Amino acid sequence: MVVETTAGEAKVLAIAIHGMPVLVCPKGHRQFAQREFPRWLLEHLLEEEEAKLPAGKETGMLFKKFTCCDCGAELATESDHRQTYAVDVTLEDLAPIQVELTMPVYRCQNCEKEQIHSLKEVRKQTPEALAHAFQAANIPPG
């Protein structure tokens, strides 16, 4: 079976998965089509797809500042809108799926480039958002 769309959120990150393959027993219980699917998808998003996102640089331990990845100017603390980045993902021998990552973006006041605050910020929220998407698809953990 294929779950057409499932979605989850964690703080500012929303993840939607389209076309996720699952196994379903006659009683309707669901499990991942491949046992390692959640780990594969998480690692792929963290290491491959999110690394491609336009992202500012984060500085400071207590008082965070974010600077533009192109010109180095300080980014605003508040976002004016959210952006969705759609990626096609092929894992192992499974059919391709599409994953949408939606998060706030910040426009540099100096060079006008739109970007997320930092990859670190998004990567911290990815596991939780994915877990919520899997729960929404009625796939139990483990």
d(CA 15, CA 85): 10
pLDDT digits (tens, 9 = 90+) for 109-122: 999 999 999 999 89
Mean pLDDT value across the chain = 94
Q: Kindly list the distances between the CA atom of residue 68 and the CA atoms of 74, 83, 101, 108, 114, in Å, as whole numbers in the listed order.
A: 6, 17, 20, 6, 9
From the CB of residue 123, how many other CB atoms can be counted at a distance below 10 Å? 16
Prediction pTM value = 0.90
Task: Please give the share of the chain, as a percent, with pLDDT higher than 90.
Answer: 84
pLDDT digits (tens, 9 = 90+) for 36-73: 999 999 999 999 999 999 999 998 888 889 999 999 99
pLDDT digits (tens, 9 = 90+) for 78-110: 898 999 999 999 987 888 999 999 999 999 999
Backbone angles phi, psi at 62, to 5 degrees: -90, -45
Q: Tokens standing for 104?
A: 């706030």
Q: Is the pLDDT of residue 142 over 70?
A: no
CA geometry: angle 7, 37, 28, nearest 5 deg = 65
Distant-in-sequence, close-in-space partners of 45: CB < 8 Å, separation ≥ 6: 89, 99, 101, 126, 130
